[in-house]
Amino acid sequence: MPKKQSPYKFDVLKADSEDESAVLPGFPEDNKIEDPADLIEMHPSRRSSADRDYEQEKPHVTFRLIPRTLHEEIKKVAKAEGILLGELARYFFEVGLARVSEGDLEVEPKAVWTGLSLYPEMRTGNAIQQTSRKNKWALNTPHTYHGVTAAIKSQMDDIAENHRIPVGELARFFLEAGLATYRTGDLELKKTVVHTRNSLYPKDFAGN
């Protein structure tokens, strides 16, 4: 039975002479390929997170143990005031630190079966059992606030460590206290117009 012919035609690249040492078009003179990658068209890869210059990014902090409802309330106030969420959080943290330093705000944790807590009702056995699985992990959702300096975070870490409480609970405590004082009208937000928006920290935009 005759062999079936292929319908495709292939052009075999040959040298101009029968000399096997002849140089083929497009190849190095010695007909040798030092690196197979030389034959592959290289495309620039996407920039990975490892290439990011984090030193150029604005400072920020991330806390857990802050209820989503509280986080959303802070966002609403920031939007209504025309300022950034991170700036408002930073201001509440700074006010909280100042009030603690002056003795005007007491950090009074209570003992619970998992350690000390500012919110013991959230960490008792009954509360955990009665909480749905969806809401059980709600406090573990991280919330990030940009513009909060490392110095502020360090002071909060020290207070949390001294009282043996999670720093996320202290952040919640300061946000709640700041929000309550703001709503009573006892906390004024002294804003300054920077370019096209308001800011509590106009010096951060100097020279921009």
Residue pLDDT, tens place only, 113-144: 767 888 877 765 554 444 444 554 578 889 99
Backbone angles phi, psi at 50, to 5 degrees: -70, -20
Count the alpha carbons within 13 Å of 164 in the hemisphere toward its beta carbon: 7
Amino acid at 169: E
Q: Which domain holds residue 188?
A: 57-205
145 occurs within a structural domain: yes
Number of C-beta neighbours around residue 4 at 10 A: 6
Residue 58 DSSP symbol: P
180 occurs within a structural domain: yes
Rounded-to-integer distance, Cα 136 and Cα 180, Å: 26
Q: Is 163 a residue whose pLDDT tops 60?
A: yes
Predicted confidence band of residue 108 (pLDDT cuts 50, 70, 90): very high
108 occurs within a structural domain: yes
66 occurs within a structural domain: yes
5 occurs within a structural domain: no
Which is nearest to 77 in space by CA: 194, 204, 176?
Answer: 176
193 occurs within a structural domain: yes
Using a pLDDT cut of 70, give the percent of the chain over it. 62
The total of structural domains in the chain comes to 1
What is the pTM (predicted TM-score) of this model? 0.62
26 occurs within a structural domain: no
SS3 111: strand
Rounded-to-integer distance, Cα 140 and Cα 71, Å: 13
Q: How far apart are the first and last CA of the chain?
A: 83
H-state helical runs in the chain: 68-81, 85-102, 125-130, 133-136, 150-163, 167-183
